Structure 1
Amino acid sequence: MSLLLAVLLVLPLGPARPAVYSWPVAPPSVLRRFDPPPERWLPGHRGVDLGAAPGATVRSAGAGVVIFAGRVAGRGVISVAHAGGLRTTYEPVTAAVTTGDQVTAGDPLGTIEIGHLGCPEPVCLHWGLRRGGDYLDPLTLLGLGRVRLLPL
């Protein structure tokens, strides 16, 4: 299998005009990478942890619609639906948006909260990506994810 075909199998395909995605916090610092479990029901790290300053602005990685902005298990969570069936999630965040808001890449979603469990730093953003029920590496949106060759 060619490397190009392998990349196409891993990267999300969008509309005729490629979608533009950007880092949700600045400056970007990846503290913990995507580490999916071998089976869906096993433990793993289904996103990336990004270092951030206390009170940092969390921005939408791409254009879409906010489909959830609220608290889950005591943490602020925001989910944004994007073209191609993709959904990005951000936590822990104090929301500045509400469900139904349309956002573009770089629009503020809220401010980071302190205390993401499992993060090696006191303040970090857990950034996730899903397509349907499948968790994907959000760094692929930026062209930085690990390339994995898939069997035919």
Structure 2
Amino acid sequence: MSYRSVLTRTVGTLLPGLMLVSTVLSVPAESSKWQPPVEDPLRVSGPYRAPASPYASGHRGIDLPAQPGKSVIAPVAGSVSFVGYVVDRPVLSIRIDSHTVLTFEPIETHLREGDVVARGDVAGVAGSGGHCLSECVHLGVRVDGAYVNPMRYFLHKPVLLPW
């Protein structure tokens, strides 16, 4: 038997198994999705609208319907990186990793900078005011300082199949 035929048989035998393993390994765990912070299933009253440039108008997050006093939970684990007022709104920012920060506003919270929150912990309660026509909590996400659409963290991630 020639080297070429052995190699062809080996690759022909192993390739389908490797493709199956790579497909299984690429499927994200259900827990990799963020937990809806106000209601399950997630309801959005104001969608993300990317600005044309960093300083142009847009809607750099999503609005989640919530009456003042409604509990807001941490959709993912992280550490509190900011608690305070921005303009006239109470804001809470949670650092998820070295690249990603999520921000809620308006939100009243008992948390302090440096506190660690687990996925599902109560982060605070919806405040009043803000830019919504009706009551809401705004959720923004920045990756390396740039705003991204938060919906990418709540939806199933696409899976590339090998065929």
TM-score (norm 1): 0.77
Read off the aligned partner of 2:118 and give its amino acid letter.
T
Partner of 1:82: 96
Instruction: Note the alpha carbon deviations across 1:4-52, whole angstroms, 9 max, x for none.
Output: xxxxxxxxxxxxxx74521111243200100011111101000000101
- CA shift for structure 1 position 144: 6.4
- Rg larger in structure: 2
- Are the counterparts in 1 of residues 44 and 62 from structure 2 also a CA contact under 8 Å? yes
Match of 1:23 among 32, 36, 51: 36
Partner of 1:8: none
Which residues in structure 2 correspond to 1:36-55 (within 5 Å)?
A: 36-55=50-69
State percent identity of aligned pairs.
Answer: 32
Question: Do residues 133 (structure 1) and 133 (structure 2) align?
Answer: no
RMSD: 1.9
Q: How far 1:78 moved relative to its partner?
A: 0.3
Distance 2:50 2:118 in 1: 28
Within-5 A mapping of 1:59-74: 59-74=73-88
- 1:63-114 deviation digits (Å, cap 9, x = unpaired): 0000001111121100000125111000001112110000111111111111
Q: Helix, strand or coil: the match of 2:45?
A: strand
Q: TM-score, normalised by structure 2?
A: 0.72
Structure (1/2) with the larger strand percentage: 1
Structure 2 residue identity aligned to 1:133: G
Unaligned runs of 5+ in 1: 1-17, 148-152
Q: Is the 8 A contact 1:31 1:120 kept in 2?
A: no
After the TM superposition, which segments of 4 or more aligned residues of structure 1 sit over 2 Å from their partners? none
